[in-house]
Structure 1
């Protein structure tokens, strides 16, 4: 079961979409009030949606015909780092000028009990499907990082899954680890969407395929894939550390790290089209532009 938001005239609407493509309009206009409502009712997201489907007729529309909006206005987007071996290798390459046999703090955090977590974005910095992501003006080595995102309620429960693009400046992070916030956080440096897949309808989140495709002037220049089965840590483990002595708001998104890094010689350019596809979550599409 998927949750979408779309523009109906001037008004945002939320809907549930079955795997057969039937669309049912919901009474909520945003995912966060939806979470608040079902908590008061003592029900689950899927139970509420199934009740809606039993009592409502589907829209006479197809999903591809809708003007999709970001499915949740996440108050915060957090991210986990070095949760895949591929990410560790890439961070080591950046930090050591390509000396892959050097042992760094990235090796240590990969094996440590405590994961790397950082605040990636806020609602004002986050964009959605078909929106533009920005390239920093002071970086010459920038890449998208395709990630499985967890949509959380305030108790820290995983209520849904979403695609995330954690835009990153490899040269800034590689220069000094203390520059991580600048390598990760700037305007329109994070995108999420296009839908939320209810967690109750995902049988095994460790069996999802992630694909990254980047097109330049109509030519595919990057085509990489990997699996969430390569994730070093459990999803609940990452959530538990985020929730530890912290405030987690309804609709918070936690990106779980990247298992795909473009070739070391690659950097994004203005006009590049980025496609991130994850099994049962659809395809998140963004275009890279220079930050003004």
Structure 2
């Protein structure tokens, strides 16, 4: 079972259940975390509450998913991200930091093997966009890429409520110039997207079997394609969540992006008009178009 949000004819957000056979049912709750809290109060799981509401006559949506104007599946108050959680990510960061000297050890090697993971603040609800919306290219960077990642939707008690797809837009040149520039390399207007749905955690037998694909189209033609699996992760999800929560206040519906294993070729940078597709099995396709920011 997946949960989505879409804009109705008056542009108001509607929460809906998306079944595995692509039937859509409008739900009475205003957002995902309201549904989760209501389920907790009733002593049932979110899936059980959704199934109950469908059985009791939740309104079916009479148009196909492709016809809906999808929104972010939730208004995540904060989006955090983990870095260097895959070997491919470590190698890419080393390439940036050393100018291509892959035989030189760096602090990225250290954090890859360290007990403490790299976790950084990525975005807020106001900076995060949903399916079909534009992501922005930073005006002072000439080497930018998307980073396709599985996102964990975290409840107020630190529990993983569900999984979504995320795009952690990154400036490789800014981060490679100096690690202290990481916030500028990662965080700017519309530098993050999530969606198109949240797969409820209780419906996922093994979260380390998600298949991830990234496709970048330029002038309508496929320019870059890559695939990966969450089974390639160096870190466990509960480990990442535990470090994020350590001495930290976590707001209901926080999203934690878990790192990328798909990195475009080193000579590739996003251009204005490129379309980015991030597909995660059993979640869906998150599609955004890159647009230049005007300084």
Q: Same fold (TM over 0.5)?
A: yes
Equivalent residue number for residue 15 of structure 1: 16
What is aligned with 2:2? 2
User: What does residue 124 of structure 2 align with?
Assistant: 122
Normalised TM-score (structure 1): 0.98
Match of 2:152 in 1: 150
Is 1:53 the equivalent of 2:51? no
Q: Secondary structure at the match of 2:258?
A: strand
Alignment of 1:133-282 (within 5 A): 133-282=135-284
DSSP-derived class of the 2:5 partner? strand
TM-score (normalizing by structure 2): 0.97
RMSD: 1.0
**2: CA distance, partners of 1:130 / 1:62:** 16
1:38, distance to aligned residue in structure 2 (A): 2.4
Mean Cα deviation higher: 169-178 or 3-12: 3-12
- Picking from 74, 81, 84, the partner of 1:82 is 84
Alignment partners' CA distance in 2, 1:182 and 1:35? 34
Asked whether the equivalents of residues 149 and 161 of structure 1 are also in contact (C-alpha less than 8 Å), the reply is yes
What secondary structure, in the 3-state scheme, does the structure 1 residue paired with 2:259 have? strand
* Distance in 2 separating the partners of 1:82 and 1:59: 41
Q: Which runs of 5+ in 1 are unaligned?
A: none
Equivalent residue for 1:288? 290
Asked whether the 8 Å contact 1:5–1:29 carries over to 2, the reply is no
Give 3-state SS (helix, strand or coil) of 2:50's partner.
helix
**SS at 2:149 equivalent:** strand
**More displaced stretch, 38-47 vs 167-176:** 38-47
- 1:31 match: 32
Could you report, residue by residue, the CA deviation over 1:32-57 in whole angstroms, capped at 9, with x for unpaired residues? 32233223333221121111122125
Secondary structure at 1:117 match in 2:
strand
Tell me the secondary structure at the aligned position of residue 86 of structure 1: helix
Give the secondary-structure state (helix, strand or coil) at the position aligned to 2:17. Answer: strand
Find the residue that maps to 2:104 and give its secondary structure: coil
Distance in 2, matches of 1:143 and 1:254, equals 19
Query: Displacement of 1:12 after TM fit?
Result: 1.4
Q: Structure 2 regions of 5+ residues with no counterpart? A: none
Query: How far does residue 205 in structure 1 lie from its aligned partner after superposition?
Result: 1.1
Bigger mean CA deviation after superposition, 237-246 or 20-29: 20-29
